[in-house]
């Protein structure tokens, strides 16, 4: 099949599979309606994901009725329905069914207490062993094995802690119970009509910095032949021989976790002819992987579609996508999934989505799981690590453009075989030794060196796989002068800085070098073999390793030997903002190049293909190919910020050296300064503060509603609550014919506007939870008062979860409130202005003190940001037009340039004809066929996000690219760190993240 045919309508299995958040009372008919919406949007399937807010009993009869509806309707629509295997996350506890089985199933962690005297340790609980140590912990002895001549300076108790809220993931009995409670229950219900597979989410080592299990001592002895209890303190302390102990301990932990949990799930899915996908916990750096899994890569062979979790509106170094894609490509797993966009915030647009995915896809991912699509936005659900990329968005009816684009890119990368000739060894087993329960300077040093090695190779446009030592032991051998790992053969192996490598790995590398392979090092070490001294092997390695001190050495030694070298130059230097990969497509080779910079355009880049090719440019939005040259080796071009581009390379037709876009005599035009509004969706004003009183007490000063609810929760009881909101209408003419109050759960409250009792809701706005109540006849010029009165109540379970001792995230991640207090909104055809000026902040932020006033709806807008021009909280579609006088020769091409707009997407019409749907830069288009000399009508529809309506409005960072539920409350959460690769800075925990002023973002030009 020709490539263009493959890409014309990619199959469902190559399309996105969003997280569908099941987070309220599930109505099968509503589920079916939402599935039909997904089919229109051209997604490939969905994960039916139990999530906080769920009010249908998980794994109960109504749950399986909802799953049945999800399976039936999805398959009718040609979609692939998947199940999510847990209520909340991390996976493994079956919503509490497994942990309810008792102590043997509970998560455990290894703890250490130190003291000057033995007596100080007498109160220690769950003691595994008592020890004595010499000065500075140089030597540590079990208390019954202390040499008579030892000079003891202190004592140690090794204990274990326990969490009843998560599982002992190292013990196979827990996963067996998990499968019986979850997977077998599905199979009993659906038999051969099972979902496509299960998504397992963030299984992890959970209780403390170092894990423990009742089975650990026996398993360690079987693996290594000595007693773990004799040496336990070495896991925390740099005592004599700690390197070997840690190497052995974490090898056993890794084996147990992989085979007790992941392999059991994988084999069950294999037996029942369904697939397993998902991702591990804490997949980024050495430290984060030590806290979550002891290393992610050994798990990936036991996924049918392995995956990762890409959080926040940002990108990082290549390690995380490289880890998962390396194993997948080596073992022939065609699809690699990424759960993406969580925490990115409500203003995430298509251009930023593609940027995040470009970074992942160029590094080996090829299937998207969008986080998330919310069944409901009621209450806290709208703050559930936003955005919700679903029907609540203004652009929903146009979403198919984005999904078609990404499905074509997915298909291109899935159907081709990636061209990779270099293997970079992963230093995870150095992480085993350097980890002592903390993110100490030594593990940071090796982590930074590894990160730099991956960035350097990617920046020099040398594609590579990562080699995990556990994977190499299972799948690697030396064959035909190369290192063979599964389907891939490498003639070049590179070492980053290492403290230790396994003995098996060392033997493999020696054999590889003896067979003619090239072995290089970009750092220091190793100095240990399997955590032990081995001068004989280290001497052998020293003889075969060539050190590469700088970029030029890497280019000379590695890149010059590649069979498919590609150089991306600016001013004769490799342009490190660009990344690329190549795939053999059979009929051609695809070259995929991305600009990783969010803000910088790469000007004057030369693409050196290494030899001449016939080159075409593939437009994935339209599935069209434009020939660049019949024979060319060098292409001169530029890349927009965040751009991704695909070239198709075929054998040349005749010789030519350089190709570029010629400088034709083009007329560039820009819009006039003023636009007329043709149509504007209803405008909105968010009211998020009010005065209040509890139990008829004293009225309290204005406070954010979200913080009032938090105050009520701390009472741990039911109470009466009165909220009094105000808003101002500038004059009588500003009141539209239809003005609405929008609020949630109005059935719980008595509501009046200026003393007038409101009738029942008359529809909804954006989400069925956002009920519309008509208030036109109740409002007046000037200040208006909305009074909301009701009883605040929660079940005891809510209070126990929020305030219980040592509560784990398993409980918080499935928490559902009985009732909630939320912001309210004014909706209608009006303008909204701030009475105080705006200050521009970072990341398109606009900050103002307020207060805000409603006026008549604007009829014209200047060609700049519209937010300050009456569209302060606007969250809909806006159609604008203008007449433009064009002066040109008949044969002269005309380009329209829109500058650098900030919006979700846009559509452009010229003289009534649709010209282009803009999802991203370049924001310019050839309009020659659509214009004539003289006056022409330009019409655009611009799509706004929900950010200015839903916030967060008060976070001290202004516009935040790492948004979690607490970001709206102004309190610390793990989202405040930029990546999971770093430890939480405890000094930031008690800091306030709240400001009273408001932050909005730019919408418009």
SS3 state at 17: coil
In whole angstroms, give the CA distance from residue 686 to residue 353.
26
> Which pLDDT does position 979 carry in this prediction?
86
- Determine the average pLDDT of the residues in 215-243: 99
By percentage, how much of the chain surpasses pLDDT 90?
95
- Give the phi and the psi of residue 707 in degrees, each rounded to 5: -85, -25
Over the stretch 709-743, which tens digit does the pLDDT of each residue have?
999 999 999 999 999 999 999 998 889 999 999 99
SS3 state at 756: strand
* Angle formed at CA 743 by CA 741 and CA 749, multiple of 5 degrees: 105
pLDDT at 638 over 60: yes
Tell me how far the alpha carbon of residue 342 is from its chain's centroid. Answer: 5
Q: Which domains are seen in the chain, by residue range?
A: 422-560 (3.40.50), 565-660 (2.60.40), 683-828 (2.60.120.260)
In whole angstroms, give the CA distance from residue 321 to residue 598.
19
* Angle formed at CA 332 by CA 331 and CA 335, multiple of 5 degrees: 115
pLDDT at 698 over 70: yes
Residues in the chain: 1005
In whole angstroms, give the CA distance from residue 134 to residue 136.
6
Q: Which two tokens stand for residue 407?
A: 């499905």
Instruction: Give the DSSP H/E element, type plus range, for residue 546.
Output: strand 545-547
In whole angstroms, give the CA distance from residue 679 to residue 676.
9
Helices and strands (DSSP H and E) totals, the chain? 22, 58
Q: Which two tokens stand for residue 955?
A: 């976070």
> Which pLDDT does position 659 carry in this prediction?
62
Q: How many CA atoms lie within 13 A of 863 on its CB side?
A: 13
Whether the Cβ atoms of residue 833 and residue 948 lie closer than 8 Å to each other:
no
Mutual angle of helices 350-362 and 399-415, in 10-degree steps:
10
DSSP class of residue 529? Answer: E
- Determine the average pLDDT of the residues in 145-149: 95
Over the stretch 15-54, which tens digit does the pLDDT of each residue have?
999 999 999 999 999 999 999 999 999 999 999 999 999 9
* Residue whose entry in the numeric block shows the structure tokens 């690590």: 385
Q: Which residues pair with 141 in a beta bridge?
A: 132
Mean pLDDT of the chain: 97
Over the stretch 816-845, which tens digit does the pLDDT of each residue have?
999 999 999 999 999 999 999 999 999 999
> Which pLDDT does position 980 carry in this prediction?
83
In this prediction the pTM is 0.97
Torsion of CA 846, 849, 852, 855, to 10 degrees: -50
In whole angstroms, give the CA distance from residue 353 to residue 372.
13
pLDDT at 657 over 70: no
Residue closest to 730 by CA, chosen among 795, 783, 661: 783
Residues in CB range of 372: below 8 A, 6 or more apart: 18, 19, 20, 21, 49, 51, 342, 384, 385, 388, 389
Over the stretch 965-988, which tens digit does the pLDDT of each residue have?
999 999 999 999 888 888 888 888
In whole angstroms, give the CA distance from residue 478 to residue 514.
10
């Amino acid at each position: 099949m020709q490539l263009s045919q493959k890409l014309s309508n990619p199959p469902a299995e190559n399309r996105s599979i969003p997280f569908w958040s099941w987070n309220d009372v599930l109505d099968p008919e509503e589920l079916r309606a939402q599935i039909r919406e997904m089919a229109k949007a051209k997604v490939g399937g969905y994960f039916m994901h139990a999530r906080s807010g769920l009010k249908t009993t998980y794994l109960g009869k109504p749950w399986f009725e909802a799953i049945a509806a999800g399976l039936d309707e999805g398959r009718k629509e040609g979609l692939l329905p998947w199940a999510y295997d847990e209520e909340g996350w991390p996976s493994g506890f079956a919503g509490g069914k497994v942990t309810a089985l008792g102590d043997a199933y509970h998560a455990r962690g290894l703890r250490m207490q130190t003291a000057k005297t033995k007596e100080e340790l007498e109160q220690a609980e769950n003691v595994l062993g008592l020890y004595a140590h010499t000065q500075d912990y140089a030597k540590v002895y079990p208390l019954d094995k202390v040499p008579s001549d030892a000079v003891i300076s202190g004592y140690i108790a090794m204990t274990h802690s326990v969490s009843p809220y998560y599982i002992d993931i190292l013990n196979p009995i827990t996963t067996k119970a998990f499968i019986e409670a979850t997977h077998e229950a599905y199979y009993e219900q659906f038999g051969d009509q099972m979902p496509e597979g299960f998504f397992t989410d963030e299984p992890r080592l959970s209780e403390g910095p170092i894990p423990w299990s009742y089975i650990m001592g026996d398993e360690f002895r079987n693996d290594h032949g000595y007693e773990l209890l004799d040496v336990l303190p070495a896991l925390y302390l740099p005592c004599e021989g700690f390197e070997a102990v840690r190497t052995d301990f974490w090898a056993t932990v890794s084996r147990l976790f992989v085979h007790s949990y992941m392999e059991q799930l994988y084999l069950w899915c294999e037996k029942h002819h369904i697939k397993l996908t998902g991702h591990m916990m804490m997949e980024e750096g050495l430290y984060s992987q030590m806290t979550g899994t002891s290393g992610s890569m050994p798990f990936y062979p036991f996924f049918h579609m392995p995956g990762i979790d890409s959080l926040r509106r940002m990108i990082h170094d290549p390690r995380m996508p490289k880890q998962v894609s390396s194993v997948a490509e080596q073992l022939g797993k065609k699809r690699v999934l990424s759960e993406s966009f969580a925490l990115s915030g409500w203003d995430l647009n298509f251009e930023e989505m593609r940027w995040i995915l470009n970074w992942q896809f160029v590094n080996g991912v090829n299937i998207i799981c969008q986080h998330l699509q919310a069944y409901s936005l009621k209450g806290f659900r709208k703050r559930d690590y936003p955005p919700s990329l679903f029907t609540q968005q203004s652009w929903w009816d146009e979403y198919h453009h984005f999904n078609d684009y990404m499905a074509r890119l997915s298909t291109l990368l899935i159907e081709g075989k990636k061209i990779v000739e270099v293997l970079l060894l992963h230093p995870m087993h150095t992480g085993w030794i350097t980890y002592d329960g903390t993110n100490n300077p030594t593990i940071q040093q090796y982590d930074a060196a590894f990160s730099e090695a991956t960035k350097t190779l990617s920046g020099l446009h040398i594609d590579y796989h990562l080699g995990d030592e556990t994977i190499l032991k299972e799948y690697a051998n030396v064959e035909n002068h190369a290192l063979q790992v599964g389907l891939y053969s490498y003639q070049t192996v590179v070492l980053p800085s290492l403290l230790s490598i396994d003995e098996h790995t060392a033997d493999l590398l020696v054999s590889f070098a003896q067979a003619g392979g090239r072995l290089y090092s970009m750092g220091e070490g190793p100095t240990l073999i399997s955590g032990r001294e081995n001068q004989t092997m280290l001497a052998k390695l020293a003889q075969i390793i060539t050190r590469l001190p700088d970029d030029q050495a890497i280019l000379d030694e590695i890149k010059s030997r590649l069979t498919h070298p590609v150089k991306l130059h600016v001013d004769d230097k490799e342009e490190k903002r660009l990344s690329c990969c190549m795939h053999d497509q059979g009929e051609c080779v695809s070259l995929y190049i991305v600009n990783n910079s969010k803000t910088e355009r790469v000007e004057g880049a030369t693409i050196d293909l290494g030899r001449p090719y016939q080159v075409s440019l593939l437009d994935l939005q339209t599935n069209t190919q434009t020939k660049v040259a019949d024979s060319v080796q060098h292409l001169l071009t530029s890349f927009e910020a965040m751009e991704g581009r695909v070239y198709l390379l075929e054998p040349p037709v005749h010789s030519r050296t350089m190709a570029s876009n010629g400088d034709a005599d083009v007329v560039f035009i820009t819009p006039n300064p003023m636009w007329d509004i043709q149509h504007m969706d209803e405008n909105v004003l968010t009211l998020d503060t009010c005065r209040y009183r509890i139990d008829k007490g004293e009225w309290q000063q204005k406070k954010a509603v979200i913080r009032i609810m938090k105050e009520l929760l701390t009472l741990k009881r039911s109470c009466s609550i009165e909220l009094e909101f105000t808003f101002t209408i500038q004059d009588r003419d500003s009141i539209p014919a239809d003005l609405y109050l929008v609020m949630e759960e109005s059935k719980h409250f008595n509501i009046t506007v200026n003393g007038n009792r409101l009738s029942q809701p008359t529809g909804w706005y954006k989400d069925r939870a956002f009920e519309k109540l008509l208030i036109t006849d109740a409002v007046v010029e000037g200040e208006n008062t909305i009074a909301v009165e009701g009883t605040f109540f929660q079940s005891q379970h809510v209070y126990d979860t929020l305030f219980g001792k040592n509560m784990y995230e398993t409980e918080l991640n499935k928490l559902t409130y009985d009732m909630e207090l939320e912001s309210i909104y004014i909706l209608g055809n009006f303008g909204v202005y701030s009475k105080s000026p705006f200050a521009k902040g970072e990341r398109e932020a606009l900050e103002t003190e307020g207060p805000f006033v409603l006026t008549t709806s604007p009829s014209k807008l200047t060609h700049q940001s519209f937010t300050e021009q009456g569209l302060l909280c606007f969250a809909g579609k806006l159609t604008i037009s203008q007449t433009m006088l064009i002066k040109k020769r008949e044969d002269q091409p005309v380009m329209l340039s829109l500058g650098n707009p900030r919006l979700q997407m846009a559509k452009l019409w010229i003289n009534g004809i649709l010209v282009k749907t803009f999802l991203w830069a370049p924001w310019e288009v050839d309009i020659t066929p659509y214009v004539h000399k003289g006056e022409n009508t330009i019409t655009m529809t611009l799509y706004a996000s929900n950010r200015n309506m839903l916030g967060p409005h008060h976070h001290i960072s202004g516009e935040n690219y790492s948004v979690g539920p607490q970001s709206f409350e102004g309190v610390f959460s793990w989202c405040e760190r930029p990546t999971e690769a770093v430890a939480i800075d405890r000094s930031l925990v008690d800091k306030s993240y709240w400001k009273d002023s408001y932050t909005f973002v730019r919408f418009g030009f």
